[in-house]
Amino acid sequence: MPFIYNRSVYFRDTDAAGVVYFAQVLVICHEAYEASLAAFGINLRTFFQNSELAIPITHASVDFLRPIYCGDRLLVYLTPQLASETEFQVKYALFVDQQDKPVSQALTRHVCIHPTQRKRQPLSEEMQQWCQKCQG
């Protein structure tokens, strides 16, 4: 079952046209990613300061299906998928309130590396379990 993140759209998220600035959609998706890790019980401080592994984003894309406005209530559906022992991707579907069609969709790809050697390494058991639990 995908993880669902609730978030209001704030004025700071919008551009001069009054709609969500394109880069903010990825910010919102990353907030959902962090919230899903925390909800799974992963300590974010140690996760992001880990000296043995890092999981950078290697690709990000966003499709905008309709405008998102200040005051909209977003539901972000986050679904990770293991791609290999060293990689996963996260699909995001953003809905306004309880509408049945997404207003935006996004994708991020992540790879697990050793932070100083910059070489791929297997994902931790904890991250593999997170991927499997959020997949359903």
The burial of 44, by beta-carbon neighbours within 10 Å (0-12 exposed, 13-18 middle, 19 or more buried), is given as: exposed
The yes-or-no verdict on residue 27 having pLDDT over 70 is yes
- Number of structural domains (the chain) is 1
Q: Say how far apart CA 6 and CA 4 lie, in whole Å.
A: 7
pLDDT of residue 107: 98
Supply the CATH number for residue 23's domain.
3.10.129.10
Overall pTM surpassing 0.85 (yes/no) = yes
Based on the residue annotation, tell me whether 72 is a catalytic residue of this protein: no
Q: Say how far apart CA 135 and CA 1 lie, in whole Å.
A: 5
Mean pLDDT of the chain, nearest integer: 94
Instruction: Record the tokens describing residue 120, joined without a space.
Output: 């791929």
Instruction: Record the tokens describing residue 111, joined without a space.
Output: 């790879």
- Tell me the per-residue pLDDT of 65-104, one tens digit each, with 9 for 90 and over: 999 999 999 999 999 999 999 999 999 999 998 788 999 9
- Tell me the per-residue pLDDT of 34-49, one tens digit each, with 9 for 90 and over: 999 999 999 998 888 8
- Domain holding 107, by residue range, is 3-135
The yes-or-no verdict on residue 5 having pLDDT over 90 is yes
37 close to 43: Cβ distance less than 8 angstroms: no
Q: Say how far apart CA 92 and CA 115 lie, in whole Å.
A: 26
13, 15, 72, 97: the active-site residue = 15
pLDDT of residue 118: 92
